[in-house]
Amino acid sequence: MYLYKELNIDEYINKKDSFCVIDVRSESEFEEDHILGAINIPILNDEERIIVGTVYKEKGVKAAKILARNLTMPNMLVKLNKIYSIIESSKKIPLIYCARGGDRSGVIATFLAMENTYVFRLTGGYKAYRGYVLNYFNKIFDKKIKVFYGLTGTGKTELLLELKKNNLPVIDLEGLANNRGSVFGHIGLGKQPSQKRFDTMLFDALSIIDEKYIIVEGESKKIGRLYIPEQFYDKMTFGDSYLIECSLESRIKRIIDEYGGYLTENKDELIRSIEVLKAHIGNEKIGELIGKFNSGYLNEVVEYLLIYYYDILYEKNRKAKKKYMFNYNTDNVVECSKIIETDLK
């Protein structure tokens, strides 16, 4: 009898560099989230999976399994050859997983074992991995968090990227979320990842940092439509706080430099975002701002939104007056980063 070996999630995490990971779930399952570095070779594609699921509901397990086998077998050799190619190029041990460690991964692992391939299957599949990620935030993550706060346009993200370039342990939450964390934060960036994918990418980023602390930008609990994991956010709330400041002129220039191209190329999207603010600054002012934007007075639009929307919102959302470890000026981000590096040593 040809057998593959089972590998539990803790064993995988401890030896993950030894494996080439093959995800045999459908394309949409893989897109929603997957193990870092996994390669998707679906045993059933999205359409086939839906058909099998319908048969399962209407006719039961046996009929669904027969249909799945009939759909899978004609292309099995093609799928196996793709997997053999991955194994050969990676020079690593194959680890196969599906949603819960069931038939999909079992079939592929069995075929590989029949060809005398040394192969593992992940016990519990993606569900076990997802459970590990959630447990990491609940119980395992224990690093100190240093949080940099500041008004919109003070260059927090720019500063953190400069610090990261100099090998400080920075986590770019907005980069992971693909959103700049404001009403206009989505413009020009495309869609955000799923919540599960965001959690996994954050876990992946944290797991490779050896330092006892990490640096993040102060955020609300929600970035676009994604939520920062609750336990991680709680640690941010009680982490060491640092304040970033700069002149209003620098803030306006920075926003126009960062957003300018996106704003002019995505006018309709920007106007829709401005209209969302009607409840905060009134219909009349919204119309005036849109008129100024269409006439090219971007500086005036940005200045008004900073003073009369973002700054007010920032102060309102601060739950209490924070006590900051240090205050920094980011009119010159490079010089500011050098000072911070010295302070954090």
Extract the tokens encoding 233: 């956010």
- Put residue 167 in one of left, alpha, beta given phi > 0 → left and psi -120 to 50 → alpha: left
Is 98 in the active site?
yes
Extract the tokens encoding 60: 């039961």
The answer to whether 110 touches 89, Cβ cutoff 8 Å, is no
CA torsion angle for 285, 290, 296, 299 (degrees, to 10)? 50
Extract the tokens encoding 192: 């955000």
DSSP 54-110: HHHHHH-HHHHHHHHHHHHGGGHHHHHHHHHHHHHHHTSEEEEE-SSSSHHHHHHHH
Helix axes 267-275, 283-294, angle to 10 degrees: 160
The answer to whether 188 touches 266, Cβ cutoff 8 Å, is yes
3-class state of residue 182 by DSSP: coil
Contacts 24+ apart (CB under 8 A), 75-79: 76/111, 79/41, 79/43, 79/108
Of 20, 98, 246, 336, which is the active-site residue? 98
Using CB atoms within 10 A of its CB, is residue 236 exposed (0-12), middle (13-18) or buried (19+)?
A: buried
Q: How many CB atoms lie within 10 A of CB 232?
A: 22
3-class state of residue 152 by DSSP: coil
> Helices (H), strands (E): how many in the chain?
18, 11
Extract the tokens encoding 305: 């939104």
Question: Kind of pairing, strands 222-223 and 226-227?
Answer: antiparallel
Question: Kind of pairing, strands 39-40 and 93-97?
Answer: unpaired
Q: Which residues are catalytic?
A: 98
